[in-house]
Chains A and B, each alone.
Chain A
Amino acid sequence: MAHELNFLFVNIVNGLVYGSFLLLTSLGLSLVFGLGRVVNFAHGAFYALGGYVLISVMRVGAGFWLALAVVPVVLTGIGLALEAGLIRRLRKRPEVDTLLATFGLSAMLVGGIEYLWGTSTTIVKPPLGFEGIVQVLSNDFPIYRFAAAGLSLLMAAGVLAIVQWTPLGLRIRAIADDAEMAEAIGVDRSRLLWQVFGYAAGLAGFAGALGAPIFAVHPEMGLSILIDSFLVVVLGGLGSLKGSTIGAAVVSVTKAVGGAYLADWSTALLFLIVASVLVARPTGIFATGRIA
């Protein structure tokens, strides 16, 4: 009995660690949709790029923390460039066209990663001082896991705070609430979407780099977290940040616990849950915006 409970505990903790990364990618996905009705299939590729940029910066001699700080800057730049060069052209087209175009973009980015860095999995060592393990209820956990999860939760809290309390956040909320009205009172929607798309890419890249010592780095890493992020925002409601937060916890814990007991069946179960939620409430559980 005690052993069973302990097993469950370990899986929930590991699930929540993954959930903290999932939250970072989901927040970006949700923000970009809420602002520009852009369903960004390439978001996972940004996450993967984050891991690879980290590796490259470390290879030229930088330490882990410096590399980790460089990643979001590079990824934000890439995001800004892609929005201006590609996403913007689809502004007046149906939502599904952005889904298609970013799907192609995702293939391009992953193909580019495989060309530049190869297809093998790269292990990244935890930074100095975080290699040890810590005991919680007599279970061993790597220290870095908690440090990274804490940092990404801090980042997520920062994003929520920015949206809630800063002038930038005010404009974001205004556009998400009523784009026409916000534009009428002088919010430059196009520029704002450009910025937010860039920041979201930076955030996804940061998550990919921060998670590198835990989950390792490989070209397909973005695709699995992207699909999980879709589940999160669908559960929580596209465009709802509160929904994303709860959705990330639900998805990651379901995956971890289900995976422990149901093995390969757990993902099927998760998809079934999400499909049922979407049918019962096509706008998600905490939806503010509409998906149509």
Chain B
Amino acid sequence: MTLTSSTIGTAASGRTSALVTIGVGALALAAILAAPWLAKPFTITLLTEAFVLAIWAMSLNLLSGHAGLLSFGHAAGFGLGGYAAGYFAREVSADVILSLLFAEAVVFIVAALAGAVAIRLSGVAFSIVSLCIAQVLYQVAIAWRAVTEGMDGLLGVPLPRLFGATIKNGAPFYILVSVVMMATLAGLALVLKSPFGATLRAIRTNDIRAASIGIDVRLHKWLAFVISWMLAGLAGGLMVFLKAGTTPMSLHWSESGNVLIMTIFGGLGTIVGPVLGAVCFVFLHDVLTSTLAIWQFVFGLIFVVVVIAFPSGLAGLPAQFGKLRWRFSR
């Protein structure tokens, strides 16, 4: 076999872009881990929240961006994981690993059942049923007072403990969240580049054709649904420790809207997009709510503009502008 100049070119540029990715990644990693020494405590609190939300947005991106199932009820897994982890931490043990494992077990059971129902639908019907599922959990959180304490919510969740040591709020918890977030990002990047990721995108592009080459469409959608919910549950579990509690509002459909905008703003179907989206969301929210009385209006406006003009989001901007330039140069 002979290597043509074009294949050499691609291989070389592939290697260059891999090097660039690794370089940017290493810089970002260093900046994230050094932040507690560089930034104000309040900024660290915001960053912690942003990274927790980033895990949640990445989970939505797996389901909606890659598997093509647009969820309008993604607060479900998040809120459920929060309640389960918070309940466990309060009633049994504040060990962060045990609490999160318990939360994941609960989320898995509910997601396995809800997913078996929801993935039978696609398109708008899936969106509406996912909204229904989240509303059911929201109502249960209000009604099941014995466990959830109703509208008041689970309050007074203790500080998390890891290997017997208490993790304080601020820098220690920030480091824990950063590590979990980056592990999630790396893991998802691998999964999305794996045959499983390619299979999900094939189903998104054309589910009938996917079925015709032996892909079990429902099984793969179900897997994407369950994995997505469990990642959302992980984020919810971390959030309950950050906020020392949770309320039914964590399951409210407006939260589902928030995670949708983070993900879409960052770039649906990309890999790092949701992280960018979550960070922008938290800092924009902070700036706008303290300076403007019309945060919700601006939030909606951004949503509309992104959907209409930048459907591939922040992470898709370079490609979008690249295409524009290409169009003009022809």
Chain A interface residues toward B at CB < 8 A: 39, 86, 89-90, 93-97, 99-101, 103-112, 114-115, 227, 230-231, 234, 238, 263-265, 267-268, 271-272, 274-276, 278-279, 282, 291-292
Q: Tell me the complex Cα distance, A234–B293, Å.
A: 36
Q: Tell me the complex Cα distance, A112–B135, Å.
A: 25
**Max chain A CB contacts within 10 Å: which of B72, B120, B257, B304?**
B304
Q: Let me know if B195 is at the binding interface, CB within 8 A.
A: no
Q: Chain B residues near A107 (CB, 8 Å)?
A: 257, 296-297, 299-300, 303
Q: Which residue of B lies closest to A283 (CB)?
A: B125
What's the least CB distance linking A84 to chain B, in Å?
14
Q: Are A115 and B125 in contact (CB under 8 A)?
A: no
**Complex A-B, nearest 6 residue pairs according to Cβ-Cβ distance, in ascending order:** A104-B303, A107-B300, A111-B296, A111-B297, A108-B300, A264-B143
Chain B interface, >50% SS class: helix
Q: Let me know if B214 is at the binding interface, CB within 8 A.
A: no
User: Among B72, B135, B298, which residue has its beta carbon within 8 angstroms of that of A271?
Assistant: B135
Q: Which residue of B lies closest to A220 (CB)?
A: B254
When each residue 97-140 of chain B gets 1 if its CB lies under 8 Å from chain A and 0 otherwise, what string results? 00000000000000000000100111111011101110110011
Q: Tell me the complex Cα distance, A97–B122, Å.
A: 14
Q: Tell me the complex Cα distance, A103–B74, Å.
A: 15
Chain A interface, >50% SS class: helix
State how many residues of chain B have any CB contact under 8 Å with chain A. Answer: 43
Q: Tell me the complex Cα distance, A248–B293, Å.
A: 36
Q: Chain A residues near B129 (CB, 8 Å)?
A: 275, 278-279
What's the least CB distance linking A267 to chain B, in Å?
5
Chain B interface residues toward A at CB < 8 A: 70, 72, 117, 120-125, 127-129, 131-133, 135-136, 139-140, 142-143, 150, 253, 257, 260-261, 264, 293-304, 306-308, 311
Q: Tell me the complex Cα distance, A282–B128, Å.
A: 11
Q: Tell me the complex Cα distance, A263–B295, Å.
A: 34
User: Among B132, B136, B307, which residue has its beta carbon within 8 angstroms of that of A100?
Assistant: B307
Q: Which residue of B lies closest to A284 (CB)?
A: B125
**Max chain A CB contacts within 10 Å: which of B122, B124, B253, B264?**
B124
Q: Tell me the complex Cα distance, A268–B248, Å.
A: 13
User: Among A94, A111, A265, A282, which residue has its beta carbon within 8 angstroms of that of B294?
Assistant: A111
Q: Which residue of B lies closest to A272 (CB)?
A: B136
Q: Are A97 and B311 in contact (CB under 8 A)?
A: yes
Q: Chain B residues near A234 (CB, 8 Å)?
A: 125, 128
Q: Which residue of B lies closest to A278 (CB)?
A: B129
Q: Tell me the complex Cα distance, A96–B204, Å.
A: 13
What's the least CB distance linking A265 to chain B, in Å?
5
Q: Are B72 and A278 in contact (CB under 8 A)?
A: no
Q: Chain A residues near B131 (CB, 8 Å)?
A: 227, 230
Q: Are A105 and B304 in contact (CB under 8 A)?
A: yes
17 new A-B contacts, CB < 8 A, other than A100-B70, A111-B297, A114-B296, are A89-B308, A90-B308, A93-B311, A94-B123, A97-B311, A103-B303, A115-B293, A234-B125, A268-B136, A268-B140, A272-B136, A278-B125, A278-B128, A278-B129, A282-B120, A282-B125, A292-B124
